[in-house]
Structure 1
Amino acid sequence: MAAADDPRFQNDQPRIHPSAQLKGVKLGKYTEVGERVVLRDVTAGDFTYFERHSEGIYADIGRFCSIAANVRINALEHPMERLTTHKISYRPNEFFKYQGIDNVFRARRQAKRVGIGHDVWIGHGAVIMPAVQIGHGAVIGANAVVTRNVAPYTIVAGNPARPIRLRFPEEIAARLQRLAWWDWPAETLFEAIPDIQSLAIEDFLAKWER
């Protein structure tokens, strides 16, 4: 029986709030997009959710990511090398007729995609700057400004964000990445939920590593 027809599972279609604005977005199964979220050219894997008022552009986001309210992913940069940083230089069409969007600047922005791994938690009000890559299992503290890549299973916080500690010891983090539980089918996840809730991480790995 396919998961979609299994009575144990909820409807696996994305849940999108009517006030959300999405353009060029690809969402996985069980994803959720909250109130007034704005996404442009973003992919998000299965089970990932965005809380209210978050924004993202030019980003690839893994599965099981928890994105809190007021998060900004791939914050807009301005052309500081030009006469003005104002958008009149790259979106003059908003002010003048016969002036189009600056496709060179747009291409520069598109080339700096943000990459976010699986099982990443991004706290309230965090800002992820262009081209940043965040590893699996990382945690971004509330109101952090992430200007550099974040290693897997690392907790960062502050402005600019700096490592605080590892979420798990390196050996455990490596085993979790090999386990790649985020790729398990829904049926396996269903069976694993009681152990996720009750077992210490070492005991969970000992039972589920195969």
Structure 2
Amino acid sequence: MNYGPDPKAIYPNEAIKSVCFIKNVITRKNITVGDYTYYDDANGPENFEQHVTHHYEFLGDQLIIGKFCAIASGIEFVMNGANHRMNSITTYPFNIMGHGWEKATPELSDLPFKGDTIVGNDVWIGQSVTVMPGVKIGNGAIVAANSVVTKDVPAYHIVGGNPAKIIKPRFSAEKISQLEELKWWDWSAEKIFNQLTELTKIIK
């Protein structure tokens, strides 16, 4: 018996080629994605990696995305390679232009480094969202369309805007704590299948 779509499939529903399970199209070692997390893009969801920019292995930063996340088209994860030196007279990156300017190559320690970018489980990210380096987005969070996320997002909170700010929590603090303990995304496929009614029930 099947208990939902095959988590190893590229397209969970072959009739909808705009949606793919990201984990199954990742080629970079510095990107990790959990089961069932999808990217929705009519222009080729299997090209998700093109939306992770300035991501260089020598810097060591990771993009880590949990399970069961829903990511809409136009996402951009800006990684630490986009950072310029900010403690000198100019921020201009002379070194990458060559022709002798490479003598101004900064030390890695001179560049701002924000660490890994981490998206929790069951996160919904709306269309055309930009996530800046080192941001942590908690489980169950919702990021409104066209937002620029510059700071960490608490679990089960809704954020939006540029820069993104907290709009409201999705549930009470007590309920959020319970959901964090529940960790339904770690259940077996069979258990999730059998509990779909509960998982999709409106919480009052």
- Is this a same-fold pair by TM over 0.5? yes
Cα 1:165–1:48, aligned 2, differ >3 Å: closer, same or farther?
same
- Superposed, which structure 2 residues align to 1:15-164 within 5 Å? 15=10, 31-32=21-22, 41-52=30-41, 55-56=51-52, 57=55, 58-75=62-79, 76-82=82-88, 85-89=91-95, 91=96, 95=98, 104-105=107-108, 112-164=115-167
Q: Which 5+ residue runs of structure 2 have no aligned equivalent?
A: 12-19, 42-46, 56-61
Contact 1:139 1:156 in 2 (8 A): yes
Percent of aligned pairs with the same residue? 31
TM-score (normalised: structure 1): 0.69
Higher relative contact order (CA 8 A, sep 6+): 2
Show structure 1 runs of 4+ deviating over 3 A. 6-10, 32-35, 37-40, 80-88, 102-111
Deviation track 1:157-205 (CA, whole Å, cap 9, x = no partner) reads 11111111111111111111111101101010111113333x3336xxx
Give the counterpart letter for 1:160 in structure 2: P
**Secondary structure class of the residue paired with 1:15:** coil
Q: Paired residue for 2:173, among 157, 170, 175? A: 170
1:191 aligns with 2:197: no
Q: Which whole-Å CA distance do the structure 1 matches of 2:175 and 2:27 have between them?
A: 35
Give the alignment's TM-score, normalised by structure 2: 0.70
Number of equivalent positions:
177
- Rounded to whole Å, the distance in 2 between the matches of 1:188 and 1:117 is 21
1:50-78 per-position Cα deviation (integer Å, ceiling 9, x unaligned): 23375124311111111111111135323
Pick closer, same or farther for the CA change 1:110–1:41 going to 2, 3 Å: farther
Q: How far, CA to CA, are the matches of 1:135 and 1:84 in structure 2?
A: 35
**Structure 1 position 146, deviation (Å):** 1.2
